[in-house]
């Protein structure tokens, strides 16, 4: 018998559990474009309270949440200061340009966590011939930097720069609860001071779809209009909001374990000769560098990471590339108990077999 693959591609592969499906089946619903869905309203109130904001808005995806925020806080013909590997640059289909007329001003931060000095240096000077800065976007945890966590002290320094320069700041907090769990603090401490914060319900928290965009009352009122403009006005969507509520009520408790599993995976991979853990995992994301000759027997496109991923797939382990040399594994609630052992054994086998 071929064992079920260990799916470490992303925490988005988590499936709604029995309690969640029950809540979805029993959800009270209404037309949410008329603001008449009681379950959506309950989710939005709960989520806003958790992150310490006045209001929040249920979004079909995190990408839409980020883009609605950028549309409202930014301005066409201006720049968005953000880290070079951030989700808003790499995975949102150039939406900041296509939908809001902005271009990124990327900061190269080795660990994915720009300093206040780097942010300040990336902000355009106030002269008539330089493309002006519209806003700043931070990402916490930082996905492509290996799930790194920005401490509240750093965030506060950056927010202070933004205030001084009169710029709004959005937080892409898709995995903010993983970051909060890693630091042992409430997520609201990581969300404090931002103009808007997005987080995902559909990742480690286990909901089948949905994200939340938090902000002030006036911001969320406008966000509702922009969401509609982008085609994100949904009707009896309480069936999904019900899953989101279960995610917030019981899914949060799983995240420390996901972080611990990633730490164990990172530690074990770090002891293997063929790969390098450059950044010990802090949350539920593990990124490792594949040494060029380790998986050379399975060359696909000449990239060590593609070769590694192809070999791992044959061994029942699913992962995704970060770039030509690096592979990402994400831990989550739906992994089998022996996931770490199997993943480590598959990597340890290198190009052999």
Ligand X SMILES: *Cc1c(COP(=O)(O)O)cnc(C)c1O
Residues engaged in binding ligand X (CB under 6 A): 61-63, 66, 87, 139, 143, 172, 174, 200, 202, 211
Q: Work out how close the CB of 313 gets to ligand X at its nearest, in angstroms, rounded to a whole number.
A: 22
Which is closer to ligand X, CB of 174 or CB of 268? 174
Q: Look up residue 77 and give its two tokens.
A: 């013909």
Which is closer to ligand X, CB of 137 or CB of 347? 137
Q: Work out how close the CB of 128 gets to ligand X at its nearest, in angstroms, rounded to a whole number.
A: 34
Which is closer to ligand X, CB of 148 or CB of 311? 148
Name the packing angle between helices 62-73 and 217-229 (round to 10°): 110
Q: Work out how close the CB of 240 gets to ligand X at its nearest, in angstroms, rounded to a whole number.
A: 13
Structural element, H or E, at residue 69: helix 62-73
Alpha carbon distance 166, 134 (integer Å): 9
Closest CA to 103 of 67, 83, 77: 77
56 within 8 A of 214, measured Cβ to Cβ: yes
Q: Work out how close the CB of 204 gets to ligand X at its nearest, in angstroms, rounded to a whole number.
A: 10
CA torsion, ordered 67, 185, 268, 331, to nearest 10 deg = -40
Alpha carbon distance 132, 74 (integer Å): 11
Which is closer to ligand X, CB of 155 or CB of 202? 202
Q: Work out how close the CB of 96 gets to ligand X at its nearest, in angstroms, rounded to a whole number.
A: 13
Which is closer to ligand X, CB of 40 or CB of 347? 40
294 within 8 A of 326, measured Cβ to Cβ: no
């Amino acid at each position: 018998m071929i064992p079920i693959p260990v799916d470490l591609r992303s925490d988005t592969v988590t499936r709604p559990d029995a309690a969640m499906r029950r809540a979805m089946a029993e959800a009270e619903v209404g037309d949410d474009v008329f603001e008449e869905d009681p379950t959506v309203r309950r989710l939005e109130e709960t989520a806003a309270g958790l992150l310490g904001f006045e209001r929040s808005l249920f979004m079909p995806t995190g990408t839409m949440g980020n883009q609605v925020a950028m549309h409202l806080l930014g301005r066409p013909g201006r720049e968005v200061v953000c880290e070079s590997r951030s989700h808003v640059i790499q995975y949102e289909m150039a939406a900041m340009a296509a939908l809001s007329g902005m271009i990124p001003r990327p900061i190269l931060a080795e660990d994915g966590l720009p300093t206040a000095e780097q942010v300040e240096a990336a902000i355009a000077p106030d002269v008539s011939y330089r493309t002006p800065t519209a806003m700043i976007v931070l990402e916490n945890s930082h996905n492509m930097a290996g799930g790194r966590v920005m401490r509240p002290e750093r965030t506060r320094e950056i927010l202070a720069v933004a205030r001084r320069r009169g710029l709004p700041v959005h937080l892409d907090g898709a995995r903010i609860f993983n970051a909060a769990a890693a630091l042992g603090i409430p997520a609201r401490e990581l969300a404090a001071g931002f103009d808007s914060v997005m987080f995902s319900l559909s990742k480690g928290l286990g909901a089948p779809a949905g994200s939340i965009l938090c902000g002030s009352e006036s911001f969320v009122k406008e966000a509702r209009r922009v969401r509609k403009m982008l085609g994100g006005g949904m009707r009896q969507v309480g069936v999904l909001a019900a899953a989101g509520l279960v995610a917030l009520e019981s899914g949060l408790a799983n995240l420390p374990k996901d972080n611990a599993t990633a730490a164990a995976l990172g530690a074990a991979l770090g002891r293997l000769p063929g790969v390098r853990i450059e950044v010990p995992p802090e949350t539920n994301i593990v990124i490792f560098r594949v040494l060029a000759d380790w998986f050379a027997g399975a060359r696909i496109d000449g990239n060590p990471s593609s070769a590694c991923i192809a070999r791992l797939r044959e061994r029942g382990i699913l992962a995704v590339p970060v770039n030509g040399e690096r592979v990402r594994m994400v831990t989550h609630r739906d992994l089998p108990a022996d996931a770490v052992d199997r993943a480590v054994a598959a990597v340890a086998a290198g190009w052999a077999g």
